[in-house]
Amino acid sequence: MLVPPITVPAGAQVSIAPDGTVSAQVGDAPPEPIGQIELATFNNPEGLALAENGLATATPASGPPILNPPGAGGAGRLVSGHLEGSNVDMAAEIIAQKFETRIYAANAAVVRTADEMNREIIDLLA
């Protein structure tokens, strides 16, 4: 979310420079800067509160946002025209999930067998 928002002229081609400068080009005119993107860091990122649509909000635990231009103050880089890849190894996660499912099934079978044995003992003693 950009604060303040950047308004892009209708029909403009937008480009974002590594320093966060947003430029718009309408027709054959040269590109003109229309805004600046700053990136926020927090003293305690784990203290952020998760909000809707994948956003996070500052809390007293996270501290206030510290705004920096891209690439400065530990804010990370800004690369236009690229898609960020996931940092999750899907194959490893699926294998781990199958492993956990089998462990759960085995534990459920142990509980079920113990319950049946207790029922047999109670029937024999009754």
Residue 9: pLDDT over 80: yes
Bond from prior residue into 4 cis (ω within 30 degrees of 0) = yes
What integer pLDDT is reported at residue 81 of this predicted model? 82
Assess whether 12 and 64 both reside in one domain: yes
**Both tokens of residue 36?**
């600046």
What integer pLDDT is reported at residue 75 of this predicted model? 86
Task: Say if residues 8 and 32 touch (Cβ distance below 8 Å).
Answer: no
Residue 32: pLDDT over 90: yes
Number of folded domains that form the chain: 2
Assess whether 75 and 91 both reside in one domain: no
Assess whether 3 and 39 both reside in one domain: yes
Neighbours of 115 (CB within 10 A): 10
Assess whether 46 and 6 both reside in one domain: yes
Confidence of residue 24 (pLDDT cuts 50, 70, 90): very high
List the domain range (segments joined by +) for residue 18. 1-82
Cα angle 75, 85, 92 (rounded to 5 degrees) comes to: 120
What integer pLDDT is reported at residue 66 of this predicted model? 93
Domain stop point among 66, 82, 98: 82
Phi/psi at 3 (5° precision)? -130, 115
Assess whether 44 and 96 both reside in one domain: no
Assess whether 25 and 40 both reside in one domain: yes
What integer pLDDT is reported at residue 86 of this predicted model? 74
Assess whether 38 and 62 both reside in one domain: yes
Higher local confidence (pLDDT), 118 or 74: 118
CA dihedral 54, 6, 22, 69 (to 10 degrees): -60
What's the pTM? Answer: 0.57
Mind listing the pLDDT tens digit for each residue in 101-115? Answer: 999 999 999 999 999
